[in-house]
Structure 1
Amino acid sequence: MISRTVLEWRKIRYGDGPDEIPEWAADRLASVARANPLGGEEGARILQHGRTSLRAQQVVGVIAAEDCTLEILPKIDGLGDGDSAASQAQIRRNLVHMLAVALDLDIASGQMARLGWQDENLLEVLIRLFCDRLFEAVHLGLPRRYVAMEEDIPTLRGRLDVIRQFSTLAASPDRLACRFDELSSDIPLNQIMKAAVARLLQLSRSTHNQRRLGELAFAFAEVSDVPVQSLRWDSVILDRTNARWKDLLELARLLLGERFQTTTSGRGQGFSLLFEMNTLFEEFVGRTLRRALVGTGLQVDLQGGRLHCLAELDEEYAATGRRRFMTKPDIMIRRGSERVMIIDTKWKRLAPSIDDPKQGVSQSDVYQMMAYGRIYQCPNLMLLYPHHDGMRIEAGITSRHEVVGCDDQLATTTLDLSQLAACTPALRSLICRVADHISEEAAVGP
């Protein structure tokens, strides 16, 4: 079994060495990448399939084909070069932490410490996390609900189905067509868990995970087998009696391909568990900001706004009311109806200002932020990037500019992802420094 790890944007050459990958394995992995919707044309947004090497792009996760697996990890400065097992383990830990924040999962530090960061790839780590949480929940009993039942039995139970009794059972007076409610564990929530266990049993290569999944499969033996595509996610009811299953439902949704990534399979050619870092970084920042600004009177909207750029005019230049080109800023911070700040996140590396006065900021990104400022009448605009050591300055504000012709200001900023616990105060501080009329005391809240 060939198993390799590579950082995003890096190459892994063809060969039989420990830091290389056999060409036959590269061909199979590239084929799986092409089948994934995130891959774009020929899977090039995931892997570039060259003549001498595979080159990872900005999508991270795990791709597996017959007898080979490739793990793609994000490049996070401050966690080593990604070549050593210790560095890769720390990157996995931070990536799972970002996923947990983005999915609003509550993962205790003790549980994080038990995961095999150096021994397993990202998929096996997520499977182990799912197994551990599911074991704890199953130990307290499977959730049950009253389910409507129909059965023909000798004695009356519940209500009599009169129509069925005097039509279908007219010649069988010894049977009564009954309708009743029965407390059952065969409900959509448990069906989802059973489907996740069954899928992961097919995917996992870890002996430990295989054993745990086998035990969990036995616990759900009385629950119906439902194909993944037929699972009734909208029918799941979470209340105070089964609130502990909320995180498990999100993990199952993640592993079954309902959020962020797409899992594909067919005729055994392989599967993929992939995350687009642009999307994950945006969600992580947005949800971290929500926590950072609790109690401040500020609200955080993700992919909100939804105002249009243009209003259509008729031949006589009168407004028709029809709108065109909807906008969806990544993150908008409001105080009531007042728009305080608009933030756009970018998962790419800024250049030091010494090397490039524009720092590699895209002109189209600047135009987009200027448009947001005018459309939403918001004077404080921010472009937020991941920090890296090559910046030669500390994380935070790297430049500030006034938009010519108005009072809007655009700040270019970075966030250090090597210490995720420090991201909440770092983001709160950034908001205070960019939006001058928000005091540090007001942002901290009560």
Structure 2
Amino acid sequence: MKPIVTVREYARLTTDNVAVPTLDLAQVSVSAFDWLCRLSAFFSKAGAGLVQLENRCLLKLDNYVGVLETPCGTRLEILPKHFEREDCIKQSRALLRRMIQATLDLPTREVGAADLQSFDAPLSEWVMGRFLLALDHLINRGLRFDYQRVEEEQRFLRGQLDVVKQMRQPPGRQHHFQIRHDIYLPDRPENRLIKFALDQVCKTTKDAGNWRLAHELRTVLLEVPTSRNVHQDFKLWSNERLMAHYVPVKPWCELIINQQMPLAVAGDWHGMSLLFPMEKLFERYVAASLNRDLLHDARLLTQTRSEHLCKHRDENFFQLRPDLMIHHQQKIWVLDTKWKRLSSSGEDKNYGLKQSDFYQLFAYGHKYLAGDGELVLIYPKQATFDAPLQVFEFAPQLKLWVLPFDLEQGILMGGPEGLPLQSKWLQTASG
């Protein structure tokens, strides 16, 4: 079995021998290295960056996290670059899973102490394990069956006789009956997709517990055919009341079947690959956390795109899309997220902030707030950035807050007065 190579964002991969592998430098096989180079070339043409080729034997990863499996079987696990310590693999995995679960709104079912044993598994095994637990719970509740109309020729009568076809029988076959009847079968779009996903897990998993449970469930689903048109079957997935117990398994099923979502991997290889752009993951994690803490009469909007930077010949130019906007009692706050480390220690007079980000927020303030209101820039909380910076003023009536977001607690630390969040940090800062 090929070893799992665990690194973090912006790590370097090499084919040379590495005496002491770290989260920032690791060795991979020549075949895995070459495949990553080809993959990088494809993404570069599409305008995305997955890895950077620094020289003929050194690759630098970009800011994607998750699991990538190469055709030679090498599994590359990429973790967020958030914790300072080198021995932070467990914490990084837990953080990544928590963010993915909140971002994709994936349901989870805790099963006690046994569930903790799979906590250290790589992301792909964790996803497959969650799918299997949800499927096991579904099967215990019972699969949904459907009646299907069957038209066939038999030597006995069953159901309805198809009189027209029977009258057309040749003289020597009049003792055969053309009949129509219904059979109660588990052949439904939902079950076909589940069987398809389960087959993928059986072929992919290397964890003994997942392998055993997957094959046990596969035996239960022997009568269920595998989906031949995944896209169409997902369209036919029913959301009726009697299918409520199928809801928890659907997102895991989608994740297993699509595998390369939300970043598609090109080529003929269909290994277990789950890659997430860290900036988008952080943005959506913040959005999910703020939405959870929002007051009941407040409203959170994501990726608003109603304003443009300017007009030219009566046409709008350069669309402005702030990450988040909060509406509450005739007041609006514009919020933007940045996955970057800041330092409030004073070593850098700019704290690591980028001037282009301030230009961006300045444009948001004038177009969405008419130059009067409060803007928020959100960065991940670090040891060097664990409290809000002093407020920046674009103008006396237009202010910018730079706030840390606690990834462990999932809360915004501080903020402008009146921001409609039920956060103990916010209340303390406002009070």
Which TM class, normalised by the smaller chain length?
0.7 to 0.9
- 2: distance between equivalents of 1:103 and 1:231? 22
2:363 corresponds to 1:358: no
Contact 2:195–2:224 (Cα < 8 Å) also in 1? yes
What's the CA shift string for 1:402-425, capped at 9, x where partnerless? 223x722111111122x2xx22xx
Structure 2 counterpart of 1:331, from 324, 332, 337: 324
Structure 2 counterpart of 1:62, from 61, 67, 73: 67
Contact 2:345–2:384 (Cα < 8 Å) also in 1? no
Name the structure 1 match of 2:401: 411
What's the CA shift string for 1:200-237, capped at 9, x where partnerless? 22322222222222222222222222247545212111
**Alpha-carbon offset, residue 6 of structure 1:** 0.6
- 2: distance between equivalents of 1:246 and 1:194? 16
**Structure 1 residues 207 and 399, CA gap change in structure 2 (3 angstroms):** same
Name the structure 2 match of 1:316: none
**Structure 1 residues 7 and 117, CA gap change in structure 2 (3 angstroms):** farther
Name the structure 2 match of 1:401: 392
Q: SS state of the match for residue 389, structure 1?
A: coil
Q: SS state of the match for residue 60, structure 1?
A: strand
2:36 corresponds to 1:30: yes
Name the structure 2 match of 1:15: 17
**Structure 1 residues 183 and 402, CA gap change in structure 2 (3 angstroms):** farther
**Alpha-carbon offset, residue 123 of structure 1:** 0.9
**Alpha-carbon offset, residue 238 of structure 1:** 2.1
Contact 1:115–1:128 (Cα < 8 Å) also in 2? no
Name the structure 1 match of 2:375: 381
**Structure 1 residues 308 and 225, CA gap change in structure 2 (3 angstroms):** same
Q: SS state of the match for residue 104, structure 1?
A: coil
**Alpha-carbon offset, residue 274 of structure 1:** 0.7
2:198 corresponds to 1:192: no
Unpaired runs of 5+ residues, structure 1, are: 314-318
Name the structure 1 match of 2:290: 289
- 2: distance between equivalents of 1:8 and 1:382? 26
Name the structure 1 match of 2:416: 434
Name the structure 2 match of 1:302: 302
Name the structure 2 match of 1:53: 58
**Alpha-carbon offset, residue 312 of structure 1:** 4.6
**Alpha-carbon offset, residue 3 of structure 1:** 1.9
**Structure 1 residues 150 and 273, CA gap change in structure 2 (3 angstroms):** same
- 2: distance between equivalents of 1:346 and 1:188? 40
Structure 1 counterpart of 2:78, from 72, 76, 83: 72
**Alpha-carbon offset, residue 175 of structure 1:** 4.4
**Alpha-carbon offset, residue 49 of structure 1:** 5.8
Name the structure 2 match of 1:203: 204
Contact 1:16–1:22 (Cα < 8 Å) also in 2? no
Q: SS state of the match for residue 273, structure 2?
A: strand
- Whichever residue aligns with residue 325 of structure 1, its letter is F
**Structure 1 residues 285 and 231, CA gap change in structure 2 (3 angstroms):** same
**Alpha-carbon offset, residue 267 of structure 1:** 4.8
What's the CA shift string for 1:264-309, capped at 9, x where partnerless? 47555855221111111111111111110142x1011122343344
**Structure 1 residues 219 and 213, CA gap change in structure 2 (3 angstroms):** same
**Structure 1 residues 255 and 408, CA gap change in structure 2 (3 angstroms):** farther
- Whichever residue aligns with residue 214 of structure 1, its letter is H
What's the CA shift string for 1:96-121, capped at 9, x where partnerless? 11111112233245569714456521
**Structure 1 residues 40 and 196, CA gap change in structure 2 (3 angstroms):** farther
**Alpha-carbon offset, residue 33 of structure 1:** 4.0
Bigger relative CO (Cα 8 Å, ≥ 6 apart):
1
Unpaired runs of 5+ residues, structure 2, are: none
- Whichever residue aligns with residue 333 of structure 1, its letter is I
- 2: distance between equivalents of 1:95 and 1:258? 17
**Percent identical:** 24
- 1: distance between equivalents of 2:369 and 2:268? 53
Contact 1:256–1:263 (Cα < 8 Å) also in 2? no
- Whichever residue aligns with residue 392 of structure 2, its letter is H
**Alpha-carbon offset, residue 388 of structure 1:** 1.4
**Structure 1 residues 311 and 127, CA gap change in structure 2 (3 angstroms):** same
**Structure 1 residues 44 and 187, CA gap change in structure 2 (3 angstroms):** same
**Structure 1 residues 251 and 32, CA gap change in structure 2 (3 angstroms):** farther
Q: TM-score, normalised by structure 1?
A: 0.79
**Alpha-carbon offset, residue 347 of structure 1:** 1.2
- 2: distance between equivalents of 1:90 and 1:159? 66
**Alpha-carbon offset, residue 74 of structure 1:** 0.5
**Structure 1 residues 349 and 146, CA gap change in structure 2 (3 angstroms):** farther
**Structure 1 residues 228 and 199, CA gap change in structure 2 (3 angstroms):** farther
| Aligned-residue CA RMSD (Å) | 3.5
What count of residue pairs does the alignment treat as equivalent? 411
Q: SS state of the match for residue 126, structure 2?
A: helix
Contact 1:260–1:276 (Cα < 8 Å) also in 2? no
**Structure 1 residues 48 and 143, CA gap change in structure 2 (3 angstroms):** farther
Name the structure 1 match of 2:127: 126
Name the structure 1 match of 2:98: 97
Contact 2:119–2:126 (Cα < 8 Å) also in 1? no
**Structure 1 residues 45 and 252, CA gap change in structure 2 (3 angstroms):** same
Name the structure 2 match of 1:226: 227
Q: SS state of the match for residue 136, structure 1?
A: helix
- 2: distance between equivalents of 1:175 and 1:35? 63
Tell me which moved more, 45-54 or 123-132. Answer: 45-54
Contact 1:32–1:64 (Cα < 8 Å) also in 2? no
- Whichever residue aligns with residue 30 of structure 2, its letter is W
Matches within 5 A, 1:250-265: 250-257=251-258, 260-262=261-263, 264=265
- Whichever residue aligns with residue 434 of structure 1, its letter is P
Name the structure 1 match of 2:336: 344
**Alpha-carbon offset, residue 58 of structure 1:** 0.6
